[in-house]
Amino acid sequence: MKLYYYLRMILRAIFSQLPILFLTFVIFPFGLSFFQSTSMGSMFEPTIEDPNIEVHVVDQDGSERSQIMMETIESDSFAPVFDFKEDPVDAEYLVEIPEGFGNGIENNQLLPIEIEGKNAASRNSGRILQSVFSSLTEELAKATYMENVFTGTILSDQELAAVQAEITAIQEADLIVEETFTSETMLSSRQYFSVVIISYILLMFISTNVSAEGMTESIGFEKRWRAAPVTKLESWILEVVGNVLQTFMFLVAYFVVWRIVGGIFTENPFYILLIALLHAIVASLINTFITHTFSQTVGKLVVNAALFFVLVFGGMLGPLERTTDMAIFEKLNSQTVSYFITNPYWNLMKGNNWQGISEMVLQLALLIGALVVMNLLSLKFGKKVSV
């Protein structure tokens, strides 16, 4: 019953301030992300101008034919296109010339070259790589076949027709194992910015609650509720549930607006709602930990610092890997808490399956467990830190 009355008061308070809350947590974030996705859309357009594709090639064959292939792609003709790396860790693409490649060329039994793209690799560059190796293999096979046929040999019309048929078969052969090209689908500007802004939404919820020393105080029934016969633990549970409810509601509203207006968040709704619920729980637990551990002044400082960090390193200004060459910034971008916010949605947009988000869901569950323990310790032993 306590939970019922508490949630009813929360809902009444939300609906009494619905226009301003909807404007703050739905319309403003949507408008900002929509504007950014439109104005910075060119950052997400693929280009093949001077691609400088980072490649690590492994020659498992070591034959004369494979060496000709290696010498060709490492020549000056391909220098503007390929940047060959000695260490596969530094490369975007891994290319393997299989053992038996040379014998296959000699005997007209072509073995496909395998190309694998890492997660950060561009699919557009991968197609360029596939096209180059496919064309080179085809030309090498034709040259080898013609060399074998015409060396000291005079052919009849029937034999010439057979040669032409063999050349046609070489041209139609599958020379690249395309299914081993596993790079991720590139995000559009709308997909990118519609997700990045979620970190801002969650931090704004936390900031609002911290500034008011908890939402219950800000909506005017803190004193009345604290007078009710509830323990500190019960009060904490009710506060967490109330904050999760309001955060989840406005996240869902934000998704609906983007889905209707921008055609984003059209993936499996169960997965989207699951991720949103986990994020709402994380935000609520962070909020209660701050309000029960720090004074209002220190809490504001912590949240404002987090907001600044997310704005700069969380992708709000665009992908750092495309706007700066400084590795430290890219590292910070992948290590911020916003990583746990953005990646589940992006992985879902790229694959729309459980496999793409299962690892992130597990990490969020572990994060929630850690935050629960931190909250309980703060309730039992903590004293508010002030300045």
Residues 6+ apart with CB under 8 A from 361: 274, 275, 278, 344
| DSSP 8-state symbol, 185 | P
What is the SS3 assignment for 277? helix
Q: Give the β-pairing of 176-177 and 113-117.
A: parallel
Amino acid at residue number 184: E
CA-derived radius of gyration, the chain? 29
Q: Where are the alpha helices (DSSP H) in the chain?
A: 2-16, 18-22, 28-39, 64-73, 101-106, 123-150, 157-172, 189-211, 215-218, 222-226, 232-262, 269-293, 296-313, 320-323, 327-335, 338-351, 354-381
> Cβ(41)–Cβ(194) under 8 Å?
no
Task: Find tokens 């048929």 and name the residue.
Answer: 165
Residues 6+ apart with CB under 8 A from 238: 2, 3, 6, 230
> Cβ(106)–Cβ(91) under 8 Å?
no
User: Does residue 320 register a pLDDT over 70?
Assistant: no
Q: Report how far residue 334's alpha carbon sits from residue 337's, in angstroms, rounded to the nearest whole number.
A: 9
What's this model's pTM, rounded to 2 decimal places?
0.62
In this predicted structure, what is the pLDDT of residue 147?
64
pLDDT-derived band of residue 149, with 50, 70 and 90 as boundaries? low
Q: Which of 261, 317, 191 is nearest to 26 (CA)?
A: 261
Question: Which of 46-55, 155-164, 289-298 has the weakest average pLDDT?
Answer: 155-164
In this predicted structure, what is the pLDDT of residue 257?
94
User: Does residue 202 register a pLDDT over 50?
Assistant: yes
Q: Report how far residue 255's alpha carbon sits from residue 49's, in angstroms, rounded to the nearest whole number.
A: 36
**Structure tokens belonging to residue 338:** 């916003």
Neighbouring-strand partners of residue 83: 54
Average pLDDT, rounded, for the chain: 76
In this predicted structure, what is the pLDDT of residue 186?
66
Task: Find tokens 């081993």 and name the residue.
Answer: 180
> Cβ(96)–Cβ(60) under 8 Å?
yes
Amino acid at residue number 155: L
Q: Report how far residue 281's alpha carbon sits from residue 58's, in angstroms, rounded to the nearest whole number.
A: 47
**Structure tokens belonging to residue 221:** 């029934």
Question: Which of 50-59, 144-153, 245-254 has the weakest average pLDDT?
Answer: 144-153
Say if residue 200 is exposed, middle or buried (CB neighbours under 10 Å; 0-12, 13-18, 19+). buried
| DSSP 8-state symbol, 212 | T
User: Does residue 152 register a pLDDT over 60?
Assistant: no
Q: Report how far residue 39's alpha carbon sits from residue 20's, in angstroms, rounded to the nearest whole number.
A: 27
Domain definitions of the chain by residue range: 2-42+187-381, 53-180
User: Does residue 165 register a pLDDT over 70?
Assistant: no
In this predicted structure, what is the pLDDT of residue 329?
52
Question: Does residue 208 or residue 198 have the better pLDDT?
Answer: 198
Residues 6+ apart with CB under 8 A from 76: none
Q: Mean pLDDT, to the nearest integer, of 223-241?
A: 71
DSSP H or E run through 56: strand 53-59
Q: Report how far residue 241's alpha carbon sits from residue 250's, in angstroms, rounded to the nearest whole number.
A: 15
Q: Report how far residue 231's alpha carbon sits from residue 240's, in angstroms, rounded to the nearest whole number.
A: 14
Neighbouring-strand partners of residue 53: 82
Q: Chain-centre distance of CA 291, in angstroms?
A: 31
Largest CA distance in the chain: 106
Question: Which of 24-38, 149-163, 167-181, 208-222 has the weakest average pLDDT?
Answer: 167-181
User: Does residue 367 register a pLDDT over 70?
Assistant: yes
pLDDT-derived band of residue 176, with 50, 70 and 90 as boundaries? very low
Q: Which of 382, 379, 210 is nearest to 303 (CA)?
A: 210
Amino acid at residue number 6: Y
pLDDT-derived band of residue 181, with 50, 70 and 90 as boundaries? very low
